[in-house]
Amino acid sequence: MKKTLSAKSVAIHGLWRCLAFCVACGIPSVASAQTQTLRIVTYNIDSDQGEDGAQYTLPQPGLITPASGGTVTNGGVLEGIGEEIVNGDPAQPIDILALEETTSITTTVQTIVDGLNTFYAVHGPAARYAMSPYQATQSGGATNNAFGNGPNALVYNTNTVQLLASVPVDPPGGTNNLGSISGEYREVMRYKFAPAGATPATNNEFYIYVSHYKASSGSANEARRLGEATIIRNDESTNLPPNSRVIYVGDYNPTGGSDEAAYQTILSNSAPNSVQQGQGIDPLNPSGSTAIDWGVTTTDTNILFMLTEASYALRYRDDLQVMTSNVYYGVAGGLQYVPGTYHSFGNNATIPWGSGVTNASNTALSGIPSNAVISAAQCYTNLIGATDHLPVVADYTIYVPPPAPVASFTASPTSGLVPLTVSFTDTSSGSITGRAWAFGDGNTSTSQNPTNIYLNPGTYTVREIVSGLGGATTNVKPNYIAVNCRTITLSPNEANPTVLTGGTVGTAYSQTITASNGIGTCTYATTPDTLPTGLNLSSAGVLSGTPTVAGIYTFTVTATDTKGCTGSQAYRVTMTCPTLTLSATSVTVAGKGGSKHVRVKVKNANCAWTAVSNDPFITITSGGTGSGAVYYTVLRNPNTTGRFGTITIAGLIFTVNQRAGPGCTFKLSPKHGTFKAAGGSVTVNVMPNFSECPWTVAKNEAFSFITITGGASGVGTGTVSYTVAPNTDTDARFGSITIAGKLFLITQDGTK
């Protein structure tokens, strides 16, 4: 029988074959497709028993190497299954191969796996076949698996499906192979599948029961077949979720007609345990008719069409694929039978009952073109060498969730001045049905390529979520957008600090400070708040009031705009007393220093003023309001050259000139360091000629065995600590450090 696929079915079939291959190989797939077509084959290979009961010890011709010539790579795999072309549908690897009567996993099943992988490695698309981890047993256990009526097994293409479970339903002893518990001859296997790469779920999982019913006619054998059908249906109704999608495959061995109890049990809408679940549909007998007789000589092409017995004699309908009604009738969202694809490879109902598929008038293999990897003639040869039933093939579609889209985006610009307009470009891949943006400033969007205006300075994390039929993914870019403040400039700003117009104690004062380049209206404040006494700075930038204390005042004004951006400027202003005079504008002091004063005369005796030393060697001891004097002391000059400093008195500058001092001299105790080979720690006393003398310590980096541990600098009397590391050399060594300008020598003995 040939498949009859619609143009749409063919397109979907080819698309998902490509998708499965692409997913397996890491190649991007077509994300919009949601169905995958699976080709499922059931095959009684009878690999250890020849025609008419003759036994063989190796897998038989037609499985791996054809009986007459041919190799694995030129088509000698499973009689050419997968090489046929039906209604323009290209030849392609099968997805699931249910086997009956294998010899053993290592002898038969693994050999088939290796042969299929070798063949498709040469005649791609490359497939990756594997076998089920559990092979069924038969009555008598492993001893009987090696010949005659071998157990069931399964091979599957990992590129397209994933095997989730292999469950022995009625173990003839299970893994210990001790014999049948129920009395059935062979063990039934239940396999659970889902599409490769997809997350298993109720809408894409399905089950396959693989069985081999007891052959031969007679009431006893029919009772055994009924018992096996009962086991399968009861297991399915008890152990599988409601409305599971199930395919019952295998060698059913009905010797007569469709009225046999085992066959009708599989088709029943209830399991023998009365649970209504898992009604089977036979695509060649969808009505479940009991009036079909498969066991008599006939010329009825409708009957011949069904026969699947051995290639050398089509006498019975042995091998079946029966599917639950939700599969056959195509309930949305799960495994669905592709109408017209059910067929027996090598039989198109043109062969008389009892004849072989190699009859000259048979055109069953005309679907193999002349340029195929395996020719129709080679297929005839392979089928002659096959030892038992013709394979049964059918196609099914199954829902496959597309992969979740991958979120990705760019932005331009990613930094700039407030307000900042940023354009976002979605670069996500995959099937996308929705987008959600969060720009980090509270704004959101569902557009593909949105624009956002950042109104406040700061650093913003952007998030995009893309969703599709396959799920959703998120792309987060932390601190992606940087919005910077504008440069706010204050005026006046001639220098730093800028000198403002001075004022007079007791006289009203006003100065306006302005800012530019900010957003909105700026507010002003001083940092720190060191305004002249009696003056205030308004939030509008007006410095005003009546000064009450004369002096020079330095302060910083900061302007803040409505976005929190700031600009600052340092200012200096002098407030003076009216007609304040000094008795002198400068003085000369001896190098040894001493105490001095300068007189202050003020017309207004109530005018307050301040005196501030501008240099650390000058200390003010008294001076203040009204006429009087400023008393100050000058420290000894440690330098051999002169120096000068200043005092600001009521905004006026008074200069102190000091002559050269005697200079600093230092004594060290001890004067040098001497160490044994073991090393050690030493403290050196530093003694200057007077307390104002500063000093430092310098180490020669060439002497790495010396480490300064304390007193790297000081003023006046102090100490320096250092350590010397152990000397492991037999020779003595020398080093030095410089303390207060003096070379301090260090010697250390060598190891004896």
User: What is 121-143 written as a DSSP string?
Assistant: HHSSS---EEE-S----BTTTHH
**Burial bucket for residue 520 (CB in 10 Å: 0-12, 13-18, 19+):** exposed
pLDDT on residue 552: 85
Compute how many other C-beta atoms are within 10 angstroms of the C-beta atom of residue 419.
14
Please tell me the distance from the alpha carbon of residue 90 to that of residue 273, in angstroms, as a whole number. Answer: 44
Under DSSP, is residue 59 helix (H, G, I), strand (E, B) or coil?
coil
Token readout for 498 is 């800028």
How far out from the chain centre does Cα 252 lie? Answer: 50
Task: Kindly state the greatest CA–CA separation across the chain.
Answer: 147
**Burial bucket for residue 670 (CB in 10 Å: 0-12, 13-18, 19+):** exposed
Q: Are 535 and 543 in contact (CB under 8 A)?
A: yes
Given a cut of 60, whether residue 456 has pLDDT beyond it is yes
Given a cut of 50, whether residue 490 has pLDDT beyond it is yes
When pLDDT is averaged across residues 495-506 and rounded to a whole number, the result is: 91
On the CB side of 175, how many CA atoms lie within 13 Å of its CA? 4
pLDDT on residue 143: 55
- Per residue in 247-286, pLDDT tens? 999 988 888 799 999 999 999 999 999 999 999 999 999 9
Choose among 564, 459, 569, 452: nearest CA to 519.
Answer: 564
| CATH classification for the domain delimited by 581-658, as one of 3.30.470.20, 2.60.40.10, 3.40.50.2300, 2.60.40.420 | 2.60.40.10
Whether the CA torsion 581, 586, 590, 592 is positive or negative: it is: positive
Least-confidence region, from 289-293, 358-362, 481-485 = 358-362
715 strand-pairing partners = 694
Highest mean predicted confidence (pLDDT) among 221-225, 458-462, 501-505, 530-534: 458-462
Please tell me the distance from the alpha carbon of residue 487 to that of residue 509, in angstroms, as a whole number. Answer: 29
Task: Express as a percent the part of the chain with pLDDT over 70.
Answer: 83
- Per residue in 126-143, pLDDT tens? 889 999 987 777 665 555
545 strand-pairing partners = 509, 535
- Per residue in 702-737, pLDDT tens? 899 999 999 989 989 999 999 999 999 999 999 999
Highest mean predicted confidence (pLDDT) among 26-30, 404-408, 449-453, 612-616: 449-453
Please give the order of strands across the beta sheet that includes 652-658.
586-589, 652-658, 643-649, 611-613
Compute how many other C-beta atoms are within 10 angstroms of the C-beta atom of residue 552.
21
When pLDDT is averaged across residues 5-31 and rounded to a whole number, the result is: 32
Under DSSP, is residue 20 helix (H, G, I), strand (E, B) or coil?
helix
- Look up the CATH number of domain 666-748: 2.60.40.10
pLDDT on residue 293: 92
Please give the span between the terminal C-alpha atoms of the chain, in angstroms, as a whole number.
Answer: 104
Choose among 82, 638, 68, 726: nearest CA to 395.
Answer: 82
- Per residue in 55-114, pLDDT tens? 444 444 444 555 455 566 655 556 667 777 655 666 778 899 998 877 667 767 887 888
57 compared with 463, residue with greater pLDDT:
463
When pLDDT is averaged across residues 140-157 and rounded to a whole number, the result is: 66
Given a cut of 60, whether residue 21 has pLDDT beyond it is no
- Give residue 106's identity as a one-letter amino acid code: T
173 compared with 674, residue with greater pLDDT:
674
Given a cut of 90, whether residue 739 has pLDDT beyond it is yes
Phi-psi region of 458 (alpha: psi -120 to 50; beta: other; left: phi over 0): left
| CATH classification for the domain delimited by 489-572, as one of 3.30.420.40, 3.40.50.2300, 2.60.40.10, 3.40.50.12280 | 2.60.40.10
pLDDT on residue 11: 31
pLDDT on residue 152: 80
pLDDT on residue 77: 57
| CATH classification for the domain delimited by 7-399, as one of 3.40.50.300, 3.60.10.10, 3.40.50.2000, 3.10.105.10 | 3.60.10.10
pLDDT on residue 4: 33
pLDDT on residue 47: 59
pLDDT on residue 443: 97
pLDDT on residue 650: 83
Whether a cis peptide bond, with omega within 30° of 0, leads into 413 is: yes
Given a cut of 80, whether residue 625 has pLDDT beyond it is no
Containing 222, the helix (H) or strand (E) segment is: helix 219-239
pLDDT on residue 470: 78
Note whether 7-399 and 581-658 share their fold: no
Please tell me the distance from the alpha carbon of residue 257 to that of residue 665, in angstroms, as a whole number. Answer: 128
Given a cut of 90, whether residue 147 has pLDDT beyond it is no
Q: How confident is the model at residue 624 (pLDDT cuts 50, 70, 90)?
A: low
Please tell me the distance from the alpha carbon of residue 224 to that of residue 182, in angstroms, as a whole number. Answer: 10
Whether the CA torsion 109, 111, 112, 117 is positive or negative: it is: positive
**C-alpha to C-alpha distances, 648 to 83, 585, 618, 619, nearest whole angstrom:** 107, 11, 12, 12
pLDDT on residue 22: 32
Q: How confident is the model at residue 362 (pLDDT cuts 50, 70, 90)?
A: confident
Given a cut of 60, whether residue 13 has pLDDT beyond it is no
**Burial bucket for residue 725 (CB in 10 Å: 0-12, 13-18, 19+):** middle
Whether a cis peptide bond, with omega within 30° of 0, leads into 59 is: no
pLDDT on residue 185: 66
pLDDT on residue 88: 60
On the CB side of 639, how many CA atoms lie within 13 Å of its CA? 8
pLDDT on residue 126: 83
Residues 6+ apart with CB under 8 A from 502: 573, 574, 575, 576, 651
Domain residue ranges of the chain, discontinuous segments joined by +: 7-399, 409-484, 489-572, 581-658, 666-748
pLDDT on residue 576: 85
b/e burial code for range 583-610 (CB count within 10 A of at least 16 → b): eeeebebebebeebbbebebeeeebbbb
pLDDT on residue 733: 93
Q: Are 133 and 158 in contact (CB under 8 A)?
A: no
Residues 6+ apart with CB under 8 A from 214: 184, 185, 186, 221, 224, 225, 228, 253
Least-confidence region, from 53-62, 181-190, 674-683, 738-747 = 53-62
Given a cut of 70, whether residue 386 has pLDDT beyond it is no
Least-confidence region, from 42-46, 333-337, 459-463 = 42-46
Specify the pTM. Answer: 0.58
Q: Where are the alpha helices (DSSP H) in 136-218?
A: 142-145
pLDDT on residue 699: 86
DSSP string, 542-606: EEEE---EEEEEEEEEEEE-TTS-EEEEEEEEEEE-TT-EES-SEEEE-TT-EEEEEEEE-SSTT
Q: Are 56 and 398 in contact (CB under 8 A)?
A: no
Task: Express as a percent the part of the chain with pLDDT over 90.
Answer: 51
Q: Does domain 409-484 have CATH number 3.40.50.300?
A: no
Computed over every residue of the chain, the mean pLDDT equals 83
